[in-house]
Structure 1
Amino acid sequence: MSKDKPVPQGQTETSAVATVLASLAPFRPKLLETLPGYTRTHFARDVGAGLTVGIVALPLAMAFAIASGLKPEAGLFTAVIAGFLISALGGSRVQIGGPAGAFIVIVYGILERHGLANLLIATVMSGLMLFLMGLFKLGTLVRFIPIAVVIGFTNGIAVLIMLSQLKDFLGLSLEHPPAGFFAQIEALRLTLHTVNPAALGIALGTLALVVVWQRGLPGLTSDGRATLKTRVLSSRVLFAASRLSVVPGTIVALILATLITWALNLPIETIGSKFGGIPATLPSLAWPAFSWDGVRFLLMPAFTLALLGAIESLLCARIADGVCAARPPEGAPTGAREGAGRSTSEDRHDPNQELMAQGVANIVTPFFGGMPATGTIARTVTNAKSGAVSPVAGMVHALTLLAVMLVAAPLASHVPLAALAGILMVVAWNMGEWREFAHLRQYRLPYRVTLLAVFTLTVVADLTVAVEVGLVAACLTFIYRISSLTRSETVPQARPGVLAWRLYGALFFGAVKLIEDIERQLGEAGTAATTTRVLVLDLKNLLYIDSSGADTLRDLQRSCARQGVHLVLCGLSHQPLDMARRAGLLAGLPEENIRPDLAAGLDRARALAGAD
């Protein structure tokens, strides 16, 4: 007769490691899935989309860096390096990565409080957090962040971006704007008399041109009423408008503002006068000053960067999935539905792979003088609508920026900061969900309180505090809502001495008061003329029991034992049954007192009451 041999400790440890490794997300970039069936037609579409997005990203990359308190080349280096890595390693076919407006306030605050070296370290730390989030398959958990927190946070950041651009928008003589909301308001008030009319004119003209370009030209070339209203225009004008609408309005506004400033020699601050221009060289590797003592102060800023980067990138990827799915098949290359250009459910983004790619990009970019990077909604949508079918488009976008930076860097010295401020005003307005404020009355009080609290704290306090308070408020709201859905009701039956209750919902730490109320009524009934001899609990409609709920049931069981009351449990199944077994609740009851349904439980209760 053979006996089982003990497993060696080394083999046990190996199997445990293998189990852990099997539970991790595989590192498989979306680029690898696009290579089979990739054709020259697909490559041509990707190159066209990449060139378009590269032109769109050029002014935004510089503007985001300057608004964050960094030199313009920091934004360009980030758009090139992080943009290439996010596309090459990411989990989306059309996602474009790079510096984003949502990071402006956070980066500026870290830079003011901790310095440039610690900003780079915090960025690397956030990259490690993002990579681990993806590796341990936490990408789907980011979707559970309540929309009220996301909207309040985004709208608050949009307000802060607008506020930070007022200095350059108005051309004020303010060398080092403070980071705090009230401090900025006071600094702007004290320097309001130094408004530069030339800078204000350039900023207003840039803002107006970008808005008209975005909303006016599409109306001229769209179908429906807009076309009917413009029939008085000649066909040549309509044809020219359709061609112009392809050109990014930000580039047109930036070029015109630069030419006007240079031709008229306007007294306006430019990239050259403020930063000395942009280097026409490749970024070089540099190791930031590192101190273990300072790392502990960077944990929360790094976590804020990682959390916001995860939210932005996955939200952007979801929007990109929708845009790709809505693209009409007409005009697509032959075989696009079978190759790299399809938009079926299997081509939706991989959130875990996307987070790992974002993590790698944020780990690598700071060593080349870059800033935090994430998915960018405006550039991603532009990429998808321009016909991109694979991550190659994003890689082309990065190479386009690199080529422009190496060739046209001297021309960037003449770009007025007021024009970049006007562009950022439009970007900030577009990133905000302003209609949600008008619709607040349609929502319940907890939603309104959460959104307004996160928005207010983001603007007047601190972004990290806003995230913390928003998540806590969301958790408390969730607990309240779930506890309000958990209820109990008495089950009428004619047998004296029998008390029956039916429970609904989830029995967790926020709803244990239901069991406590039953225990209290049981004690009160014990002093009445008709003493309760049997307590029946129907748990068929109970979906979940946590450890606190199981402990409360154990307390009720002990209370029944002290008072000589028989406890009968009915309808336990799935998770509640498993929790009851692990908590020892079933072991303390006779097997006959555990019944499959309420009818059987009441029969058992009547038998016990009759026997007593």
Structure 2
Amino acid sequence: MDSLPTSLMRPKLLTTLKTYSLVQLRADALAGLTVAIVALPLSMALAIASGASPDKGLVTAVVAGFLISALGGSRVQVGGPTGAFVVVISGVIAEHGYSGLVLATGMAGLILIGAGYAGLGRLMKFVPMPVVTGFTAGIAVIIASSQIGDFLGLDAGKVPAEFLGKWEAYFGALGTLSQATAIIGAGTLALILILKKLNPRLPGYLIGILVASVAVSWLALPVETVGQRFPDMPTSLPAPQLPVISLPMIREILPSAFTIAFLAGIEALLSAVVADGMTGYKHRPGQELVGQGAANLVSALFGGLPATGAIARTATNIRAGAKTPMAGIFHALFLLGALLVAGPLVAYVPMAALAAILLIVAWGMSEAERFKALMRMEAGERALLLLTFGLTVLVDLTVAIGVGVTLASLLFMARMSETTGLLGEDQSVEDPEQRAALPEGTEVFRIAGPMFFGVAGEMLDALNRIGRAPRAIILRFDRVPYMDSSGVNVLETFVRQAKGSGARVILCDMPPPVWDTLVRSSPRFAGAERVKTLASALSRLERVDPRSE
């Protein structure tokens, strides 16, 4: 694919700063503060759900959030850690340790930068909705499942990573349920939901963890807190350093790096599209991927997590009145201040309160309404949705995405093959007088639809069903938008068979791109004649008697 024009590879920040005003600065600062209040508890909760310490989530939100806004192609995109990465991150940490995750994050950043400059941002929109909804809903189920132990205070020991094994461990530990923990978890969950219903503008997540923290501390409740689980958690921005790199580790990490890059690209561009719909602006997909890539690369240098554009935080940013990418930069700066000033207070946050936040996040990710709507679609769409969902939950996210995209491609090709066909003489020649003037023994056929490997067999069968050996065959290509090497092979095979039966083959109305493909695939393709139009083909037949050749 061709690279993008230079005009489309420029950060939106540079565009907006040309006319930046004090009014916009005030609006962006207020919006940034609003989003930071939302992102503070969310970043910690997502980090813990991923198997990392809370400070890693805050570092990611600061570093990656700053760069996504500064270098991205969306005017109001806000980035940071998101729920989409939880499954991949926890898997990489479990198998390769945190150093392996840092390397995978950096590699994903390089992949995203390359994809952005290669113009692959335009291809992300072709990932089918059943695949996206399937793995997103699957991730939501996994996130919710991973929080049951903390939400109820279960002493289940080392809980397996597998979905079924996890629930088996939970059921086995029901006798260890902590009433105090369950009350704090349920109370936090109820408080956040009530605040959302009464006044969505209130920072429900932050209020929820503040109330829960105060309750546990003042009442001296036996509820595990962040400080008890992570006693050595740093409360400052670490110095950047290169991750441990080795060729064997790169080979092992590469599939996870591609998965992280794919998820980051998909979610970032989806979030940018949502932002466009809310604001009327238009994002630059290539530059957005470059910004996401730079953010992940630098996040890895600071020991952070993978990051991408966050739909919920971006929507909050817009509703709070954000005008330019400076809002996202202010959000990162406010979070940095919170990390440096209020970092020690994080130790008092109950794990059950963070679990309640993640249960709400998981429900939002599940997209239950869209899932139900897709279940009312045709059988192929339902199968694709359920297969991607089931593989995400029960097997592996990487497998789910690979199988889902592959199956979606096969379904698409099957549908395209149904739209490609061979139109007979009565449909190939619209002009009645021209149809009546066809020389005796001449057949005219129009190929309608792309000629690619998905339809090659059916096209050859259709061409062979002519049933008799005409003196001349005219093939019209004006309705063929695309031809691949399999289509060329079909055409070569047909021409060879037609000439073997004594028929003359003329190609006409062929678009230049299709003819170029034909020439490139078979430079010595001389089995058929080529003219510009049907009239030219008929004129050639009138001048030369096929039987005399």
Shorter-chain TM-score: which interval? Answer: over 0.9
1:496-540, Cα deviation, whole Å (9 max, x unpaired): 643332221111111122442245335x53xxxxx5322232223
Which whole-Å CA distance do the structure 2 matches of 1:418 and 1:186 have between them?
Answer: 20
* 1:508 paired residue among 424, 448, 452: 452
Q: Quote how far apart the aligned CAs of 1:187 are.
A: 1.4
Q: Quote how far apart the aligned CAs of 1:74 are.
A: 0.5
Q: Is 1:321 the counterpart of 2:276 in the alignment? A: yes
Specify the alignment match of 2:531 in structure 1. Answer: 594
Contact (CA 8 Å) 1:277, 1:412: kept in 2 or not?
Answer: no
Contact (CA 8 Å) 1:316, 1:377: kept in 2 or not?
Answer: yes
* 2:498 paired residue among 560, 567, 571: 560
Q: Quote how far apart the aligned CAs of 1:314 are.
A: 1.0
- Secondary structure of 2:74 counterpart: coil
Q: Is 1:532 the counterpart of 2:465 in the alignment? A: no
Contact (CA 8 Å) 2:507, 2:528: kept in 1 or not?
Answer: no
Give the residue type in structure 1 aligned to 2:464.
R
Contact (CA 8 Å) 1:285, 1:367: kept in 2 or not?
Answer: yes
Specify the alignment match of 1:283 in structure 2. Answer: 238
Specify the alignment match of 1:374 in structure 2. Answer: 308
Give the residue type in structure 2 aligned to 1:135.
Y
Q: Is 1:265 the counterpart of 2:211 in the alignment? A: no
Specify the alignment match of 1:12 in structure 2. Answer: none
Q: Quote how far apart the aligned CAs of 1:131 are.
A: 0.9
Q: Quote how far apart the aligned CAs of 1:367 are.
A: 2.3
Moved more, 111-120 or 566-575: 566-575
Which whole-Å CA distance do the structure 2 matches of 1:561 and 1:348 have between them?
Answer: 54
Specify the alignment match of 2:139 in structure 1. Answer: 157
1:332-375, Cα deviation, whole Å (9 max, x unpaired): xxxxxxxxxxxxxxx42211111111111111112222111111
Q: Is 1:412 the counterpart of 2:317 in the alignment? A: no
1:531-573, Cα deviation, whole Å (9 max, x unpaired): 5322232223222222211122112112222222111223223
* 1:481 paired residue among 415, 432, 444: 415
1:410-489 to 2 correspondences below 5 Å: 410-489=344-423
Give the residue type in structure 2 aligned to 1:153.
F
* 1:312 paired residue among 254, 264, 267: 267
Specify the alignment match of 1:4 in structure 2. Answer: none
- Secondary structure of 1:92 counterpart: coil
Which whole-Å CA distance do the structure 2 matches of 1:590 and 1:301 have between them?
Answer: 50
Which whole-Å CA distance do the structure 2 matches of 1:585 and 1:293 have between them?
Answer: 44
Specify the alignment match of 1:135 in structure 2. Answer: 117
1:368-390, Cα deviation, whole Å (9 max, x unpaired): 22111111111111111111111
Specify the alignment match of 2:202 in structure 1. Answer: 247
Which whole-Å CA distance do the structure 2 matches of 1:469 and 1:98 have between them?
Answer: 28
- Which has the greater radius of gyration? 1
Contact (CA 8 Å) 2:495, 2:528: kept in 1 or not?
Answer: no
The percent of aligned pairs where both chains have the same amino acid is 43
1:552-596, Cα deviation, whole Å (9 max, x unpaired): 2112112222222111223223322333444558962575x6361
Structure 2 vs 1, CA of residues 357 and 166 (structure 1 numbering), >3 Å: closer, same or farther?
Answer: same
Which whole-Å CA distance do the structure 2 matches of 1:97 and 1:135 have between them?
Answer: 20
Which whole-Å CA distance do the structure 1 matches of 2:119 and 2:177 have between them?
Answer: 51
Q: Is 1:520 the counterpart of 2:483 in the alignment? A: no
Q: Quote how far apart the aligned CAs of 1:81 are.
A: 1.1
Contact (CA 8 Å) 1:123, 1:366: kept in 2 or not?
Answer: yes
Q: Is 1:173 the counterpart of 2:158 in the alignment? A: no
**Structure 1: 5+ residue runs without aligned partners?**
1-19, 218-244, 326-346, 526-530
* 1:75 paired residue among 57, 62, 70: 57
* 2:183 paired residue among 175, 194, 201: 201
Q: Is 1:29 the counterpart of 2:11 in the alignment? A: yes
Contact (CA 8 Å) 2:133, 2:371: kept in 1 or not?
Answer: no
Contact (CA 8 Å) 1:272, 1:414: kept in 2 or not?
Answer: yes
Contact (CA 8 Å) 2:4, 2:119: kept in 1 or not?
Answer: no
Please report the RMSD computed on the Cα atoms of aligned residues, expressed in angstroms. 2.4
Specify the alignment match of 2:44 in structure 1. Answer: 62
**Structure 2: 5+ residue runs without aligned partners?**
427-434
Contact (CA 8 Å) 1:519, 1:559: kept in 2 or not?
Answer: no
* 1:548 paired residue among 470, 482, 486: 486
Moved more, 553-562 or 279-288: 279-288
Specify the alignment match of 2:229 in structure 1. Answer: 274
- Secondary structure of 2:273 counterpart: helix
Contact (CA 8 Å) 1:536, 1:602: kept in 2 or not?
Answer: no
Contact (CA 8 Å) 2:531, 2:537: kept in 1 or not?
Answer: no
Which whole-Å CA distance do the structure 2 matches of 1:467 and 1:605 have between them?
Answer: 57
Q: TM-score, normalised by structure 1?
A: 0.83
Structure 2 vs 1, CA of residues 488 and 602 (structure 1 numbering), >3 Å: closer, same or farther?
Answer: farther
Which whole-Å CA distance do the structure 1 matches of 2:542 and 2:482 have between them?
Answer: 25
Contact (CA 8 Å) 2:184, 2:353: kept in 1 or not?
Answer: yes
Number of aligned positions between the proteins: 538
Structure 2 vs 1, CA of residues 575 and 514 (structure 1 numbering), >3 Å: closer, same or farther?
Answer: farther
Q: Is 1:49 the counterpart of 2:31 in the alignment? A: yes
Structure 2 vs 1, CA of residues 564 and 183 (structure 1 numbering), >3 Å: closer, same or farther?
Answer: same
Moved more, 178-187 or 469-478: 178-187
Specify the alignment match of 2:87 in structure 1. Answer: 105
Contact (CA 8 Å) 1:149, 1:451: kept in 2 or not?
Answer: yes
Q: TM-score, normalised by structure 2?
A: 0.92
- Secondary structure of 1:266 counterpart: coil
